[in-house]
């Protein structure tokens, strides 16, 4: 699923240098390192080795782990392997971002595959 910006009125834009696989516009991007990672949405395609714009401090509609259940306002975990958001009770695995990097803009119910998420820009934990 391509993530879509739902509310970009407060969006902050940063330049991100890609040191991995090609990133498509709309992908969730992990910016930073182990203790200061935050989540952003790619605003353009970014090839490996290239730089491009990413946005944060905005609401997006993104993929959700279908079994995840969470309340509005709850912090969420970015499940790297699933490329989807999970509830904050999920056990973080390598590549996952947990903490205040994202919060649910609406409750998430079992069997739903999309959710509304605020990408806060708050430094959080990237699991090694």
* pLDDT tens digits for range 61-117: 999 999 999 999 999 999 999 999 999 999 999 999 999 999 999 999 999 999 999
- Are 20 and 76 in a shared domain? no
Q: Average pLDDT, whole number, for the chain?
A: 96
What pLDDT is recorded for position 79? 98
The number of domains in the chain is: 2
Domain that holds residue 109: 60-126
2 pLDDT more than 90? no
Sheet holding 114-119, edge to edge: 4-7, 58-63, 114-119, 102-104
Cα–Cα–Cα angle for 93, 78, 56, rounded to 5 degrees: 140
Check: CB of residue 16 under 8 Å from CB of residue 54.
yes
- Are 65 and 122 in a shared domain? yes
What pLDDT is recorded for position 74? 98
What pLDDT is recorded for position 50? 98
- Are 65 and 50 in a shared domain? no
What pLDDT is recorded for position 56? 97
What pLDDT is recorded for position 7? 78
What pLDDT is recorded for position 51? 98
The answer to whether residue 5 sits within a structural domain is: no
């Amino acid at each position: 699923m391509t993530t879509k910006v739902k509310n970009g009125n407060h969006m902050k834009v940063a330049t991100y240098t890609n040191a991995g696989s090609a990133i498509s516009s709309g992908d969730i991007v992990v910016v930073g390192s182990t203790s200061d990672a935050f989540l952003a949405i790619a605003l353009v395609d970014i090839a490996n080795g290239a730089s491009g714009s990413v946005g944060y401090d905005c609401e997006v509609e993104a993929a959700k782990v279908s079994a995840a259940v969470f309340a509005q306002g709850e912090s969420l975990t970015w499940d790297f392997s699933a490329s989807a958001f999970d509830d904050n009770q999920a056990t973080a695995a390598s590549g996952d971002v947990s903490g205040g990097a994202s919060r649910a803009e609406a409750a998430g119910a079992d069997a739903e595959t999309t959710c509304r998420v605020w990408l806060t820009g708050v430094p959080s934990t990237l699991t090694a």
